[in-house]
Amino acid sequence: MKHKTKYFNLKFILTLCILFIGTEFYGQFGNRGNTRGAFNRQSAIPRTQEAPEKEDPKTAAQMVDEQMPSITEALDLNDFEVAVMASILKKYVQERIEMQILKLPPEKMREGFQKINERQTEELQASLPPEKYSAFVDLQSNGVAKTIKKKKKAKKKKKKEKEKENQ
């Protein structure tokens, strides 16, 4: 009997040791192919943080080209007037950008911008018809969206007036 209990105890202890050693190995090495488990493992290759690339600042031509369709719509410019106005605006927007790059003191910046505005005003007055120039001045003071809304309202009023006259 003693002999059987010795073997039984030895088998029991050996089974426990294998069980504990097996769980230890599984915990350390586990199933490497299973990445959906509770303990996701990270790659041995470290990830580098990539900073997002800074966009280059827009050029004067890009800025003006973006705005020209709305200006054209608001002022009803023909192709020649669009080309003239675009070239003038590009020229003076470029000068403003160059002034900002210089980073002059605020007083000199203000003076420089005033001179640029005066030259732009003179050139636009000389190259656009008076009614288009005055509409452009209104556009600058009110903004493009308000000018387009006013224009649409005026068209609606004209249509209503024509309908009343026809009746």
- Distance between CA 31 and CA 37 in Å, rounded? 9
* pLDDT digit string, tens, across residues 46-74: 666 777 777 777 787 888 888 888 888 87
**Is residue 131 situated within a structural domain?**
yes
Report CA-CA distances (Å) from 63 to 60, 83, 116, 131. 5, 15, 17, 25
Count the domains in the chain: 1
- Distance between CA 91 and CA 116 in Å, rounded? 10
Domain that holds residue 106: 60-151
**Is residue 97 situated within a structural domain?**
yes
**Is residue 130 situated within a structural domain?**
yes
**Is residue 22 situated within a structural domain?**
no
Cα–chain-centroid distance for residue 150?
Answer: 29
* pLDDT digit string, tens, across residues 82-131: 888 889 989 988 998 888 888 888 899 899 999 999 999 899 889 888 88
* pTM reported for the whole predicted model: 0.56
**Is residue 30 situated within a structural domain?**
no
**Is residue 86 situated within a structural domain?**
yes
**Is residue 52 situated within a structural domain?**
no
**Is residue 158 situated within a structural domain?**
no
- Distance between CA 70 and CA 147 in Å, rounded? 10
